[in-house]
Amino acid sequence: MTLDARAENVLKNLVETYIQEGQPVGSRTLSKLPQLDVSSATVRNVMADLEELGLIKSPHTSAGRIPTAQGYRLFVDSMIKASPMTNATVTELRERFNNESDPETLIAHASDLLSDLSRFAGVVVLPNHATARFHQIEFLRLSDTRVLAILVTEDGRVQNRVLPTADKFTEAELIEAANFFNSRYKGNSLDAVRRLLIEDMHHDNDQMHRLNRTAMQAASRVISEEEASQKNKDVVLSGEQKLLDVPDLCQIETLQRLFDAFKTKRDLLDLLDRSLKAEGVSVFIGEESGYSALGECSVIASPYEVDGKVLGTLGVVGPTRMAYSDVISVVDVTAKLLSQALTLSARA
């Protein structure tokens, strides 16, 4: 949809005024703004046209108007630019990531940061563990009957499992077993490694060294246990309680639907997955999401990556009445900082 310059100016100022004040905006209020420089009657006529186009609406019998989801969409798409953060602020935020190297801790920091800066709910979708790529495994002898298996993925995550063994292995034998496994499966996704393991063990024969069989069996157990432990760790959510203080979301029914969505995660995951292949920041406004629970909310999301490969998405969930330019900048900068920190962690 395109508007003439006057209508665009009226809509832009109406949205900005409503975002700032939270009250329906009347023609008299807008006509007093120096950047419009038109009469109240002219503003009324333009507002009537905007209402007919479905860009603004009257919430009740008041003479004031508020933006619709369609009005917000036009505002976000063509009337704003992200508010850049100062270099000092970006440096301060980067330091919060630089002090950590554990990927899960970095992701938790990102979720907290999104919530703190936006004052809404911050969310990070964890990398799909089944598609994480295997980097290496190490076996360390703890005793005659116990071995520590250390699994490392290409995105830098490290998982440890203590495994019982029927045989006694020397340190040299465990290194040989790890080298065999790493040379055979490195670079495959964990899901693919698990399938290959099943196939290889199915075709096992007496010629295969007992160390190699042990490596396969141990690694298969580590991967299976890790996949099971990740099933309920697909989303990191922070600051959802802050939405209780948002006037626009004060209806009990609205909050109930929203917190049910946070609890089940399904709708939220589906929505955030849509931004995986997007370049930069995606904005979903109100009913655009397709989910009634998010009908009064906007979700601003961006993918994050390691070495140029997209791993997941992060974003902010808040009311449709939000300072979009500020929140878009928060999401964009956080995604870049998390990507940088995870890349450094993976290379360490």
pLDDT tens per residue, range 186-207: 888 777 887 787 777 766 555 4
> Domain check: are 240 and 327 in the same one?
yes
> Domain check: are 263 and 343 in the same one?
yes
Please report the pLDDT score of residue 211 as a whole number: 60
Please report the pLDDT score of residue 320 as a whole number: 96
Please report the pLDDT score of residue 330 as a whole number: 95
The Cα 5–Cα 71 span in angstroms is 15
The Cα 227–Cα 162 span in angstroms is 16
> Domain check: are 118 and 239 in the same one?
yes
Please report the pLDDT score of residue 76 as a whole number: 96
Select from 205, 230, 255 the last residue of a domain. 230
The Cα 327–Cα 300 span in angstroms is 8
Select from 230, 245, 274 the last residue of a domain. 230
> Domain check: are 175 and 103 in the same one?
no
> Domain check: are 142 and 275 in the same one?
no
> Domain check: are 146 and 119 in the same one?
no
pLDDT tens per residue, range 214-237: 667 777 777 766 555 555 457 899
The Cα 270–Cα 152 span in angstroms is 28
Look at residues 324, 319, 327 and name the one whose alpha carbon lies nearest to residue 250.
319
> Domain check: are 209 and 276 in the same one?
no
Tokens of 317: 């969930």
Residue 15 sits in a domain of what CATH number? 1.10.10.10
Residue 268 sits in a domain of what CATH number? 3.30.450.40
Range of the domain at 295: 87-126+234-347
> Domain check: are 243 and 327 in the same one?
yes
Please report the pLDDT score of residue 77 as a whole number: 93
Look at residues 294, 298, 293 and name the one whose alpha carbon lies nearest to residue 325.
298
Pairing of strands 282-285, 134-141: unpaired
> Domain check: are 278 and 324 in the same one?
yes
Q: What's the whole-number mean pLDDT along residues 170-179?
A: 86
Look at residues 288, 289, 244 and name the one whose alpha carbon lies nearest to residue 268.
289
CB-based contact 309:320 (threshold 8 Å): no
Look at residues 343, 338, 263 and name the one whose alpha carbon lies nearest to residue 97.
338
- Return all residues near 250 (Cβ < 8 A) that are at least 6 apart: none
pLDDT tens per residue, range 43-99: 999 999 999 999 999 987 667 999 999 999 999 999 998 788 888 889 988 988 887
Residue 210 sits in a domain of what CATH number? 3.30.390.60
Please report the pLDDT score of residue 207 as a whole number: 45
> Domain check: are 120 and 134 in the same one?
no
pLDDT at 239 over 50: yes
> Domain check: are 214 and 294 in the same one?
no
Number of folded domains in the chain? 3
> Domain check: are 51 and 96 in the same one?
no
Tell me the pLDDT of the chain averaged across its residues. 86
Burial of 247 (0-12, 13-18, 19+ CB in 10 A): exposed
Please report the pLDDT score of residue 205 as a whole number: 54
The residue that leads in pLDDT, 83 or 257, is 257
Select from 230, 250, 268 the last residue of a domain. 230
